[in-house]
Amino acid sequence: MNVVHSAPEMRQLSRHWQMSGETVALVPTMGALHEGHLALVTAASREASRVVVSIFVNPTQFGPSEDFDRYPRDLDTDLRSLAGLKVDAVWVPSVSGMYPSGFQTSVELARLPNHLCGLSRTCHFGGVALVVAKLFGVVRPDIAVFGLKDFQQVRVIERMAADLDLGVRILRHPTVRETDGLAMSSRNRYLSPGDRAIAPALYATLRSVGAKVALGATDSAQLIAEGRSALESAGFTVEYLNMCDPDTLDDVSNVDHLVLVIAAVRLGVTRLIDNLIAVPGAIPQTAHPAP
C-alpha cells in the first residue's frame, strides 16, 4: 500500500496504472475510518483493478463555527484499518498542497445546495464540490464511490461530474449501520453514553415515516409533523425533517411516488443526519433490518 502525500506523485501513479490498461476507483474520505468507509473501499475493489483512498479533512467544507479543528485525525489508525483491504494507494494531501497561496477558484451548483443541509451549512457543498473536483483532477478515477448516508452530497457530486463532463462513474453505496440502526459516522464518537442510547431513534423515526408511506399515507406535511414530534419526544433538536424528490431534492407535498425521507438533528454538540427512500405501497428500502 503506497502512502502518497504529493499530488504529482498521486497523478503519476494513477496515470501509470491506466496506461497499463488498469481501472482506478477513488474513495474520498476525511479519515477517522469506520466500517462504513471500509465497505466503500471493498465495493471499489470489486469495480476496479486499483483502489485509491484519499484522506483529507477539507477546510473549505466546514463553516467557521463547525468542528474542523476538533475533527478526529489519526492517520496511523486509519492506515491499520485499511491494511487488510485491497488498497493500492492512500493519498493524504496537505492543506497547503491543496490550497496554496493565491488559490481562488470555486465550484458552485445553482440549485442542489439550496436545500436541506445546505440551508444551515451555507459553504459546505461548494467546499465539497471543490475538493472532489480537485481529487478527481489528480487521480482521474474511472469510478468514485460515495455513501448514501450523505445523500445530498452524492447528488451534488453526481450533478457536478455530469455537468463538467468529468468522465467518472459515481457509485452509490448503501448506508452502513450499527446493529441498533444508527448510521455509522466519524462524529458518533462525540456522543455521550446517554445520547448514544437516544441516537438510534433517528433511523427508527425515518422508518416509521417510510412505513406510513408504504401503507398509503400521502400528506407529507402531516407525516413530517408526526415525525418531528417523535424526534423531539426522543430528545433530539430537529434541524429539518423533509420529504423530497430524490433527484432534485425539491419538497414533495403529495407522496404519490418514490420519496426521500431525510433528517438532520442535534444531540448535544453532535449533529446527526440520516435518510431512506420510501415507496408508496412498499416497505421502506433499507440495507438494514428494523431496529
Q: Nearer Cβ to ligand AMP, position 57 or 243?
A: 57
| Per CB under 6 A, 271 contacts ligand AMP | no
State which of positions 186-245 bind ligand AMP (CB under 6 A): 186
Determine how many CB atoms are found less than 10 A away from the CB of residue 190. 18
Q: Which uninterrupted H or E stretch holds 26?
A: strand 24-29
Task: For residues 233 and 137, give the distance between their C-alpha atoms in angstroms, rounded to a whole number.
Answer: 46
Q: Nearer Cβ to ligand AMP, position 152 or 220?
A: 152
Stretch that binds ligand AMP, among 90-98, 145-153, 159-167, 275-283 (CB under 6 A): 145-153
- Give the torsion sign (CA, 136, 38, 210, 190): negative
| Per CB under 6 A, 150 contacts ligand AMP | yes
Residue 284 near residue 211 (C-beta atoms within 8 A): yes
| Per CB under 6 A, 185 contacts ligand AMP | yes
In the complex, the smallest distance separating the C-beta of residue 215 from ligand AMP, rounded to whole angstroms, is 27
Q: Which of 115, 124, 134, 149 touches ligand AMP by CB under 6 A?
A: 149
Q: Nearer Cβ to ligand AMP, position 151 or 255?
A: 151
| Per CB under 6 A, 184 contacts ligand AMP | yes
| Number of residues forming the site for ligand AMP (CB under 6 A) | 16
Is 16 a known active-site residue?
Answer: no
- Give the torsion sign (CA, 285, 286, 289, 291): negative
